[in-house]
Amino acid sequence: MPLMTPEQYEESLRKLKLKVYLQGELVSNPVDHPIIRPSMNSVKMTYALAQEPQYEDLMLATSHLNGSRINRFTHLHQNSDDLVKKVKMQRLLGQKTASCFQRCVGMDAMNAVDSVTFEMDRKLGTNYHERFIKFLTRVQDKDWTVDGAMTDPKGDRSLSPSKQADLDLFVHIVEKRADGIVVSGAKAHQTGALNSHAILVMPTISMGKEDADYALSFATPVDAEGIYYIYGRQSCDTRKLEGGSIDVGNSQFGGHEVLMVFDNLFVPWENVFMCGEYEFSGLLVERFAGYHRQSYGGCKVGVGDVLIGAVALATEYSGSSRASHVKDKLIEMIHLNETLYGCGIACSAEGCPTASGTYLIDLLLANVCKQNVTRFPYEIARLAEDLAGGLMVTMPSEKDLRHPEIGKIVEKYLKGVATVPTEDRMRILRLIENITLGTAAVGYRTESMHGAGSPQAQRIMISRQGNLEQKKELAKAIACIAGK
C-alpha cells in the first residue's frame, strides 16, 4: 500500500470503533469532537509533510524489509544518519504544529522491541522477533500510526508489581491459552492513543522472577474488544468548546493523553513479543527510554522555535523589542533551545548498531539530552512569560473583543504599537499562554519534566553510563599514580 494521504488517515480513524470517555460521557465521534480534533490534526501533519517533495528526505525512509519508501515514523534506524534525520524531522513537526504530534512513542517502541526480541530469541530460542517483524511489516504496508504504551499506574511505588494490593496496577497476564493470552491492567499518560491504529505495549520497569507475569510486550488494535479510554484533562481545554480561535491560542493543533484500560483483553500469540522473560524487561525499558529521550532533543526544540518567535513578535507589538534586556533574554532562549538540539544530534551521531542491525543512540548522551530537557524549557517558558507581560494572563476574551459595544473599548486599551492590530497582539499572547500554561504546556513544559521517565531516572542512567572508573584512570595517568 502506498503512503496514506492526510485525508486517508482521517478516514481510517473514522472506521475505528473506539470506546472513549471524556468528562464523564461516552464520545460517539472522537475524530470531530472539538477537544480531541486538534490532536488529530497534529498527527495528520505527519502524513501531510510526507507527501511534500521538499520534506521527503526527512519524512521518508527506505524500508530495510522490502526496499519500499515508507514514513520515517514506521522505520527501523539503519545507521546514524537515520537517527539524525529522526531528530531533524521531529524539530520540523514541532515547528509546524507547536504541539505534540504523538507518533514518536510508537517509533521509539518499535526500534526498542526489534533489537531486544532479536537478542532474546538468540539467547532463549524463542521466536518473538519473527512475530515482531510480521507486525512491523503490517505497520509499514498500511502506514499505521502506532501508540507506544509503557507507563503503568504503579500504585504503591514502594512495592513490586506482584505485591500491590490491586494486581491490575501493572499490566499483567491473567490467563495463558492455546491461542493467546488474556491481560488486564492499564497504561497511563498515553499520548495520541485515540489517533493511532495499533498499540505496542512494553513493561514499565525491570522485573524480577516473582513479577514474570508483568514482563510483557504485545501489539493490539486500538479498538480491540476489552480496551477503553478515559481522556485526560488539560489546562484551558474547554476553551475549544467556546467557538472562535483567539482564546484557544493554537486553534489548529494539540496533543492528548488518555488512561488506557485493558479489561481482560485477548491477544493472539502472533502479537505477543515478550511473555514472562523478566530478565529482558530491563533492557527493553532502557532502550526505549534512550530512544525517547533522544526524541525530546527534536520535538521540544521545534515547539521552542515557535515560542521564541511568538515572544519576539510580542515584544515588537508592544514596542519593547529594541530594549537591550529584551534582546539578551531572546538570545538566552535561543541558546538554551539550540543546546537541546545539539544534544539530540550528538547522541544520534554517536549511535551504533545492535545485534539485529537496528541502530541505537549513545545512551549516555541521550540521557544528558533529556536531563537538559527537564530544565531548559522551564527557563525558556519563564523568559517567555517575562517578556510577554502580564496581559498574557489577564486579557479579556475573544467574545469581549467581538462584542458590539465593549469590543471597541477592548481594542482601544489593549493596543500596543499603533500600526499593529489589537487582534494580532491578542492572538500572539494567547499562543504564548497556550504553550507555557495551556493545553500545549502538556506537550512542552510539563512533559519536558516527566516524559520518557523522571529526572532521577536519567541521572541513574548517567551514573551507569558515565564510566567514572575510566575517568579515574585517566587522572591517575596524568598525575603519574601507579597501581590500583
Three-class secondary structure of residue 450 per DSSP: helix
Residue 299 is among the residues annotated as catalytic for this protein: yes
- Given the residues 104, 275, 343, 369, the one annotated as active site: 104
Distance CA 74, CA 79 (A): 15
Look-up of cell digits 482521517: 10
- Given the residues 100, 343, 347, 369, the one annotated as active site: 100
Residue 296 is among the residues annotated as catalytic for this protein: yes
CB atoms within 10 A of CB 27: 19
Residue 104 is among the residues annotated as catalytic for this protein: yes
Distance CA 394, CA 216 (A): 49
Q: Apex CA 88: angle with CA 234 and CA 117, to 5°? A: 80
Residue 405 is among the residues annotated as catalytic for this protein: no
Residue 447 is among the residues annotated as catalytic for this protein: yes
Q: Read off φ and ψ for residue 47, nearest 5 degrees.
A: -85, -35
The separation between CA 484 and the C-alpha centre of its own chain, rounded to angstroms, equals 45
Lookup: cell for 66: 522490502
- Given the residues 228, 229, 296, 341, the one annotated as active site: 296
Distance CA 290, CA 112 (A): 9
- Given the residues 292, 341, 354, 436, the one annotated as active site: 292
Q: Taking a C-beta distance cutoff of 8 angstroms, is the pair 294, 80 a contact?
A: no
Burial code (b: 16+ CB inside 10 Å, e: under 16) for 244-257 equals eebbbbbbebbbbb
Q: Are strands 69-71 and 60-62 parallel, antiparallel or unpaired?
A: antiparallel
Distance CA 222, CA 228 (A): 9
Q: Taking a C-beta distance cutoff of 8 angstroms, is the pair 145, 40 a contact?
A: no
Distance CA 48, CA 421 (A): 32
- Given the residues 46, 97, 151, 191, the one annotated as active site: 191
Q: Apex CA 81: angle with CA 78 and CA 84, to 5°? A: 115
Look-up of cell digits 509533510: 49
- Given the residues 275, 299, 347, 369, the one annotated as active site: 299
Residues catalogued as catalytic: 100, 104, 191, 257, 292, 296, 299, 447
